[in-house]
């Protein structure tokens, strides 16, 4: 499974310059399978998750459309106030654990008409057998003009083919176009990785909708297609589906069993047997929190998960005592072979209690108004106190996550 080893974000709202994990330029450890970002209101947690979604939107819809999404409000509202430079990203990833890491740089600025456009793109990789030294570019495009090296080779290797590139549409990412060509397997793989990221904004009310027919292979961002996703899983593997519902029922408090029944019009209904009641309930009757828990547990049953899953404040609407269990479930899921990487923002002490110092980052804001990101394992005293048996949530709430670097 592909892994995000690190990401640097510059000039994206209050994220003037923050790095999560390893890049070619720093020596930080690579990102773990499960990560949580905590921090006071307004420090940039949602901006961080949105920055990940922004990359996918740039790839899919072009950079101007990505900036103009209603919650972003255009390039100038997105770029860090008072800054002149482009919005920049540096994404370091590895296609498989033994593959050489690849780093993607992207710069987005506005043209003289104020339209967002791509000003810079580069893909780099180290040559085979070289753990150190300068990585070599196999794609570099500046202001619409550049070069790409075909196949797996770098520019110094025999057989590499240097092809000039001219981007006529400056809204479109070069990796979006070149990634569709068979000549560029590394670009295709990276493009698939980036476009596969999944950000969850679960809306219980939407999950209650019952479409007439249809089957979707994955749960979508809001959970609106919950019923269709269930239909897909049931169609693919009927006995597996029954077992999955049994597993999930055990994890939701107050629920004895979950069964599926076919309505006369062929819709798939979920029948919940609730403690203390004789007659069953259906998903329309279930509480927001129960549906949310169900959605997360179903997400974790996806046999072909997204490479990276981002979830904002999963604790909202869930009983605190459930959260350390949910945290442990996310960890187990992320650890499975082929499991996704999971990034969560949270204000919940219980959730953080399930994590280790290597899995938690704290965001705060300096006097300059810019966000700073710090891994809790790098805060003096925290690893020792954790090793001594103090859970992370308690350390956080008892104010051990000061922001002084060691």
Separation CA 333–CA 140 (nearest Å) = 36
Q: Are 353 and 317 in contact (CB under 8 A)?
A: no
* Tokens matching residue 395: 């350390």
Stretch that binds ligand ATP, among 43-51, 60-68, 180-188, 285-293 (CB under 6 A): 43-51
Nearest C-alpha neighbor of 399 from the set 160, 385, 337: 385
Do residues 198 and 308 touch, judged by C-beta distance below 8 A? yes
- Interacting partner of 326 out of ligand ATP, Mg ion, none (Cβ under 5 to 8 A depending on kind): none
Minimum gap (Å) between residue 205 Cβ and ligand ATP: 21
Measured from the CB atom, the residue of 49 and 116 that comes closer to Mg ion is 49
Cα 226 to Cα 246: distance, rounded to the nearest angstrom: 17
CA distance 154 to 190: 16
Residue by residue, DSSP assigns 330-373 as: HHHHHHSTTPPEEEEE---HHHHHTS-GGGEEEEEE-TTS-EEE
Across the strands, what pairs with 140?
A: 122, 147
273 forms part of the interface with Mg ion (CB under 5 A): no
Residue in the shown chain whose Cβ atom is closest to Mg ion: 46
Residue 158, C-beta contacts closer than 8 angstroms, at least 6 positions apart = none
- Residue 69 CB, shortest distance to ligand ATP, in Å, is 14
Q: Which is nearer to ligand ATP, 77 or 235 (CB)?
A: 77
Pairing of strands 360-365, 34-39: parallel
37-45, 70-78, 331-339, 353-361 -> range binding Mg ion (CB under 5 A): 37-45
Interacting residue with ligand ATP among 8, 22, 45, 184 (CB under 6 A):
45
Which one of residues 30, 46, 94, 195 is an interface residue with Mg ion (CB under 5 A)?
46
The minimum distance between CB 325 and Mg ion, in angstroms, equals 23
Q: Which is nearer to ligand ATP, 44 or 391 (CB)?
A: 44
- Residues in 47-66 that interact with ligand ATP by CB under 6 A: 47
Question: Should residue 209 be labelled a site residue for ligand ATP when binding is judged by CB under 6 A?
Answer: no
Q: Taking CB under 6 A as the rule, does residue 170 contact ligand ATP?
A: no
User: Which residues face 34 on adjacent strands?
Assistant: 342
**Residue 227: closest CA among 236, 235, 239, 219:** 219
Instruction: Report in angstroms how near the CB of residue 158 gets to ligand ATP at its nearest.
Output: 47
Under rule CB under 6 A, residue 39 binds ligand ATP: yes
Binding residues (CB under 6 A) for ligand ATP: these are 13-14, 39, 41-47, 77-81
Binding residues (CB under 5 A) for Mg ion: these are 45-46
């Amino acid at each position: 499974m592909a892994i995000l080893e690190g990401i640097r974000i510059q000039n994206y709202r209050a994220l003037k310059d923050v790095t999560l994990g390893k890049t070619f330029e720093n020596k930080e450890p690579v990102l773990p399978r499960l990560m949580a970002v905590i921090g006071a209101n307004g420090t940039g947690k949602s901006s961080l998750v949105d920055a990940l979604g922004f990359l996918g939107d740039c790839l899919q819809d072009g950079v101007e459309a990505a900036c103009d999404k209603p919650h972003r409000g255009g390039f100038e509202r997105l770029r860090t106030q008072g800054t002149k430079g482009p919005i920049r990203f540096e994404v370091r990833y590895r296609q498989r654990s033994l593959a050489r890491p690849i780093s993607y740089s992207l710069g987005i600025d506005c043209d003289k008409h104020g339209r967002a456009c791509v000003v810079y793109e580069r893909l780099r990789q180290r040559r085979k057998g070289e753990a150190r030294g300068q990585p070599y570019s196999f794609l570099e495009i500046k202001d619409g003009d550049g070069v790409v090296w075909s196949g797996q080779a770098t520019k110094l290797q025999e057989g590499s083919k240097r092809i000039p590139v001219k981007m006529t549409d400056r809204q479109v990412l070069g990796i979006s176009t070149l990634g569709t060509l068979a000549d560029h397997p590394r670009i295709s793989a990276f493009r698939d990785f980036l476009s596969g990221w999944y950000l969850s904004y679960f809306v219980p009310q939407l999950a209650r909708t019952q479409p007439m027919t249809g089957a979707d292979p994955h749960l979508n961002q809001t959970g609106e297609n919950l019923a269709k996703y269930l239909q897909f899983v049931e169609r693919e593997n009927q006995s597996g589906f029954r077992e999955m519902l049994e597993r999930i029922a055990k994890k939701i408090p107050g629920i004895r069993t979950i069964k599926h029944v076919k309505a006369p019009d062929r819709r798939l209904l979920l029948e919940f047997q609730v403690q203390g009641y004789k007659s069953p309930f259906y998903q329309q009757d279930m509480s927001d929190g129960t549906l949310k828990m169900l959605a997360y547990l179903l997400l974790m049953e996806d046999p072909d998960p997204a490479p990276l899953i981002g979830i904002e404040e999963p604790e909202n609407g869930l009983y605190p005592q459930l959260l350390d269990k949910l945290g442990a479930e996310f960890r187990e899921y992320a650890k499975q072979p082929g499991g996704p990487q999971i990034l969560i923002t949270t204000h919940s002490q219980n959730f953080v209690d399930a994590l280790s110092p290597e899995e938690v980052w704290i965001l705060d804001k300096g006097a300059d108004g810019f966000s700073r990101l710090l891994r809790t394992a790098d805060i003096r005293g925290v690893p020792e106190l954790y090793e001594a048996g103090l859970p992370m949530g308690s350390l956080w709430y008892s104010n051990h996550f000061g922001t002084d670097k060691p």
